[in-house]
Amino acid sequence: MLGASNLVPGPSSTEMAIHIGHQRAGRKGLVLAGVGFIVPAMLMVMAFAWAYLRFRSLPAIQTGLYGVKPVIIAVILQAVWGLGRAALKDGFLRAVGLVATIAALGGINVLVVLLTAGLIAMARVAVGESRWSGHQAASFVALLPAGAALSAVMPISLWGLFLVFLKFGAVIFGSGYVLLAFLQADLVNRLHWLTQSQLLDAVAVGQVTPGPVFTTATFIGYLLGGIPGALVATVGIFVPGFLFVAASHPLIPRIRNSRMTGAFLDGVNVGAVALMTAVTWQLGRAAVVDIPTAVIGALSAIALIALRLNSVWLLGAGAFLGFAVQHWLGA
C-alpha cells in the first residue's frame, strides 16, 4: 500500500506534515502545517550558516570538520542501507539498481537515471512480470544517454538559485538524501557554485539541526546569496511539495490502487538508491582522506547501522576525534 507522502516529490517528513495539515484543515491547514514544520529549522540553519561563514577559517573549526565529514558519509550510508533494503525487493529491481548505479557513476544525468528506472519497472508490469528476468533489466542500459551532463560555469543569481532549487523540489523522490546527488551533479559538477567540501559541510549542518534534510538548501542559499539566497532557495525547494499535495489529494485513492503507479515508484526508489550510492562514493573520496578518517567513518557506519545510535552524538564524537587526531599528528 502506498502512503500519501510517497506519491509526491520531496522529503517524506515534510510532505507528511503538509498532507496531515490538508486533511485536518484544508488548504489553510496545508500552509500552516508546512510553514510550522519548515520555518524553525530554516532559521536555525541560517544562524549556523552565518557562524560558518564568519568562523570557518579558524583552525578549531577546520579540525572539527576533519572528523565530522567521515561521519556524514556514514550517515548517508545508513540512509542508503535503509532505503535499499526496502527498495531492492527482487532480482529484477536489484539488476535495475546495479545498472542505474553504473550510469550515475558514469555521469549520466540524475533525472534520466530516476525516470528510466521508474519506466523500466513500470514496463515490467505492463508487459507481464513472468516474461521478465534480472538480466533483461540490464539490457535497458541502452535507454540511458551515452553522454554525461555538460559542464558550464554560470554566474550566481537569486533567480538562478530559485529555479535550481525549484527543480530539485519538484523531482526528488525516495529519500531526502537523494538531494545530495542533485547538488553534486548541478551545483558542484555543472555550475561550480560549490565545492565538495562545502557540500559536506552543508550536510553536516543539516544533521545537527532539527527538521527535514531539505533545509540543506537554506545553508547553501546563505553561502551563495546571504539571507535573500537562503530564503529563495528554501522557498524554491519546498513550494513544489505544497503544490503537489494540494493537487494530488483528490487523486490519492486512485493512485494508491494503481499497479502501474506502484511499479513506477518502485523503480524510482531503486534509482534513488543508485544515486545515493554514487554520491556516497564521490563525497567519500573528499571526506575519507587518510587512515584516521577511514576508521572514524567505518566505526560511525557500524554504530549507525548495527547499533542505531543517534547521528547527532556521532557528529559530536567525530568532531572530538578530529581534534584529538589532529593534535596528536601535530604534536
**Where do runs of H (alpha helix) occur along 106-153?**
110-127, 134-138
Task: Give the confidence band of 150 by pLDDT, cuts at 50, 70, 90.
Answer: very low
% pLDDT > 90, the chain: 41
**What pLDDT does 323 receive?**
87
Range of the domain at 292: 4-330
Give me the number of domains the chain comprises.
Answer: 1
Residue 89 dihedral angles phi and psi, to the nearest 5°: -80, -30
**What pLDDT does 301 receive?**
94
**What pLDDT does 249 receive?**
60
Cα 122 to Cα 266: distance, rounded to the nearest angstrom: 8
CA 120 vs CA 140, 175, 218, 252, 264: distances in Å: 8, 20, 34, 23, 8
Asked whether 287 and 297 are in contact (CB, 8 A), the reply is: yes
Set of cell numbers at residue 205: 549542518
DSSP class of residue 36 equals H
**What pLDDT does 171 receive?**
84
Average pLDDT, the chain: 82
CA 132 vs CA 44, 75, 271: distances in Å: 49, 35, 19
Tens-place pLDDT, residues 27-80: 788 788 878 888 888 999 999 999 988 888 788 788 888 899 999 999 999 999
Three-state secondary-structure class, residue 7: coil
The predicted model gives 222-247 an average pLDDT of: 89
pTM over 0.85: no
The predicted model gives 314-323 an average pLDDT of: 90
Asked whether 5 and 16 are in contact (CB, 8 A), the reply is: yes
